[in-house]
Chain A
Amino acid sequence: MSGMVERLQALAGEDTEVCKERCRVIDLASLNLFAVEYGLTRREAEIAALRERVLPARYMRNLGTVGFDGQIALLEATVGVVGAGGLGGWIIEGLARMGAGRLVVVDSDVFGENNLNRQAICREDNLGQPKVEAAQQRVAAVNAAVEVIAHQVRLNGPQMMVELLTGCDVLVDALDSLPTRLDLQRAARELKVPLVHGAIAGYVGQVMTIFPDDGGLLRLYGEREVPQQGIEVQWGNPAATPMMVASWQIAEVVKLLARRGEPLRCRMLFMDSEGGTVDLLQV
Chain B
Amino acid sequence: MQIQVKLYAMLRRYGPPLPRGAALPLEVAGGTTVVKVLQRLGIPDHMPLVSMINTRVCKTDDVLSEGDTLSLFPPVAGG
Contact = CB atoms under 8 A, between A and B. Distances in A.
Interface of A: 83, 85-88, 173-178, 181, 198-206, 215, 219-221, 223-224, 227-232, 235, 237, 242, 270, 272, 274-277, 279, 281-283
Interface of B: 6, 8-10, 12, 20-21, 48, 50, 52, 54-55, 57, 59, 71, 73-79
Contacts of B20: 275-277
Given A220-B57, A223-B57, A281-B52, A230 B79 contact: no
B79 A231 contact: no
A227 B75 contact: yes
A228 B52 CA distance: 21
**Chain A binding surface SS class:** mixed
Contacts, number: 95
A86 B76 CA distance: 14
B79 A174 contact: yes
B8 A199 contact: no
Given A220-B57, A221-B50, A275-B20, A204 B77 contact: no
Nearest to B79: A176
Contacts of A173: 79
A205 B9 CA distance: 10
10 contacts: A199-B78, A200-B78, A200-B79, A201-B74, A228-B77, A275-B9, A276-B20, A279-B8, A281-B71, A283-B57
A283 B59 CA distance: 15
